[in-house]
Structure 1
Amino acid sequence: MNAVVFAYHNVGVRCLKTLLARGMQVQLVVTHPDSPSETLWFDRVADVAAEAGIPVAYVDEAVDEALIDRVVAAAPDYLFSFYFRRMLPARLLAAARIAALNMHGSLLPKYRGRVPVNWAVLHGETETGATLHVMQAKPDAGDIVAQQAVPILPDDTAKDVFDKVSVAAEIALWRVLPQLLRGEVPRQPNDLSAGSYFGGRKPEDGRIDWAQPAQTVYNLIRAVAPPYPGAFFDHRGHRFIVARARIASAVLAARIEDKSAIGLHLIDGQLLGRAGDGGAIHILELWDADQPGVALSPRQISELVTQP
């Protein structure tokens, strides 16, 4: 069996390696050029392909007709999409002799659409996973081929969960590949009425509203914690990013004297953000938005809170 693989990011790396380990003949790998405006905290699919001697093509925006012609001429048994960032047109999907399959970072039909791991953390889910499914023109709507669940622990950030989902994708693909290599594609209905769909997120969506309950604020912080852009708030005309935090204990939250004031409080050198429900976030690392990656010192934090 042979395949053309569209892939990017860590899921793309792990799944490409899994295909090769199982003996799938990969004719071509299509990936994205690295963006200079993006923090590249993940591995490169192009490096894996180069080491394996597989030709590589790059797509920045839409897949062009020349590339589609190239894939059609290759007549692959399978077409795989592993965290590729562009929708694949119908003519391209039809080029696969057996099936065109996509790996999605959720337990479909839940969290169809963009950045599913971040949305799952934001909504306080306790479980997510990876799903290999048949590709259709409608995103994340085709039959389910394989799934693997992973837990989301109370203090997991989106990066923690994404790392688990990357392994889940590898496991799901590894388990089903013997069937795929025999030309068999197991299918289960993907009941969209029982699921959910979410779009992409913008950096502005990371703004903290201290009037929200503490758990809601904490879920936002976890969902966009670095290497994602980070949850932020503005204080005295300046922007700050909460890089690390956790829910404050009830004992610590109760030590905030001004029970009417939401936002920043300093308790024995510990920075708290009081939320609308009386709970508090214990801020363990705070960045100046003008110097991301550099934690504010205790002196700077003290000045931030105590100066008028």
Structure 2
Amino acid sequence: MTRAVVFAYHDVGVRCLKTLIGAGVEVALVVTHEDNPAENIWFDSVAGVAADFDIPVITPEDPNAETVVAQIRALAPDFLFSFYYRKMLKAPLLACAARGAYNMHGSLLPKYRGRVPINWAVIHGETETGATLHQMNVKPDNGPLVDQFAVPILPDDTAAEVFDKVVVAAEIVLARSLPRLIDGTATLTQQDLSLGAYFGGRGPEDGRLDGRQSAQALHNFVRALSHPYPGAFADTPAGRLVLWKTRRLDVAGRQADRACLSIDGPHLRLDCADGGVLRILDADLDGSPLDTARFAACFGERASLPI
């Protein structure tokens, strides 16, 4: 029987772990993360799946510690798999797998190597992304490709909606790659790194709206950061404004140096710097829902709030 050690977290980790189990792979150990109480845990539990199947679980702070490497080496795995595990695996750990170490990445490599690739793809207005299984080496998302599967990004998809598609794409890629990995017939294709770029992680301050951007760029930014992510925000005299959902309108607005939020009949409207217009479908102000009545109470019926 093929034996694997699995490093996994998040929904991709859950579905790919279940795919290995369903294919009859012996998962000797699962390495995952302790959930951070300060984080919004909106995804399924890898540790919970492992418990359901009586698979041992560890949650080391440093997966590359000598004791962890020794424990995994002693299991003599054929493969190591990393499925949305958040830490880099170094060379001694990768060398524990007799038949190779493989990672599932949430983009169509070599595009969007690095952190939070789905959010970056939506921010940049991509019309597709996907999941890629590739061999790991000591550089992130750098190794040769095994397989990938593309999914569409629709014009109003949020990052969460795209993530759901990528979870399915990851399951498809792994399910159809496993037979070839196990029987040794998988063909690896070197990446042309010039066709993509590396992107870093995103912190709280990276959600700040830039009112100088076009209507399309602001729409992309809002949907990339909408629930369950922290949201795209601007600070106002009445508190923090968070935009959760917008829609582009096919009308000409007022060009200006910065976007301005105002009342437009029963709706809130954002006139963007390039003359494009967004309808605000969901927003908060100072932690409470923002509608036209509350906007008027805070800023006046005819007020235009610069963003």
TM-score (norm: length of structure 1) = 0.93
List per-residue Cα deviations over 1:255-277 (Å, max 9, x = no partner): x7x97873111011211111100
2:38 is matched with which residue? 37
Pick closer, same or farther for the CA change 1:259–1:73 going to 2, 3 Å. Answer: closer
CA pair 195-297 structure 1, distance change in 2 beyond 3 A: closer
Aligned pair in 2 of structure 1 residues 157, 163: CA closer, same or farther (>3 Å)? same
Rounded Cα–Cα distance in structure 2 between residues aligned with 1:90 and 1:259: 53
8 Å Cα contact 2:245-2:280 kept in structure 1: yes
**1:99–1:231 CA distance, 2 compared to 1 (3 A):** same
User: What does residue range 18-167 of structure 1 map to in structure 2 within 5 Å?
Assistant: 18-61=19-62, 63-167=64-168
Corresponding residue for residue 176 of structure 2: 175
Distance 1:261 1:94, change over 3 A: closer
Query: CA offsets per residue over residues 146-178 of structure 1, 9 Å max, x none?
Result: 100000000001111111111100000011111
Name the residue aligned to 1:283.
Answer: 280
Query: Which runs of 5 or more residues in structure 2 are unaligned?
Result: none
Rounded Cα–Cα distance in structure 1 between residues aligned with 2:59 and 2:249:
46
Q: Is the 8 A contact 1:210 1:273 kept in 2?
A: no
The answer (yes or no) to whether the contact 1:131–1:145 under 8 Å persists in 2 is yes
Distance 1:261 1:51, change over 3 A: closer
1:212 Cα offset (Å): 1.2
Q: Deviations over 1:31-56 (max 9, x none)?
A: 00000010011000001000011000
SS at match of 1:53: coil
Match in the other structure for 1:10: 11
Partner of 1:303: 297
| 1:236-291 alpha-carbon deviations (Å, 9 max, x no partner) | 252111111111231xx54x7x97873111011211111100112211111134x2
Contact 1:265 1:305 in 2 (8 A): no
Mapped partners of 1:203, 1:262: distance in 2: 21
Equivalent-residue separation in structure 2 for 1:260 and 1:49 (angstroms): 54
Which residues of 2 match residues 227-266 of structure 1 at below 5 A? 227-236=228-237, 238-250=239-251, 254=253, 262-266=259-263
Equivalent residue letter for 2:19: T
Cα separation, 2, equivalents of 1:230 and 1:98: 42
1:298 Cα offset (Å): 4.1
Q: CA 1:260–1:84 in 2, change beyond 3 Å: closer, same or farther?
A: closer
- In structure 1, C-alpha distance between the alignment counterparts of 2:243 and 2:62, rounded to whole Å: 32
Determine helix, strand or coil for the equivalent of 1:232. strand
Q: Which moved more, 1:183-192 or 1:84-93?
A: 183-192
In structure 2, the CA distance between the partners of 1:47 and 1:259, relative to structure 1 (3 Å rule), is same
CA positional deviation for 1:93: 0.2
TM-score normalized by structure 2?
0.93
Q: Aligned AA for 2:263?
A: L
Computed over aligned residues only, the root mean square deviation of the Cα atoms, in angstroms, reads: 1.7
Aligned length: 301
Q: CA deviation at 1:208?
A: 1.1
Q: Determine helix, strand or coil for the equivalent of 2:294.
A: helix
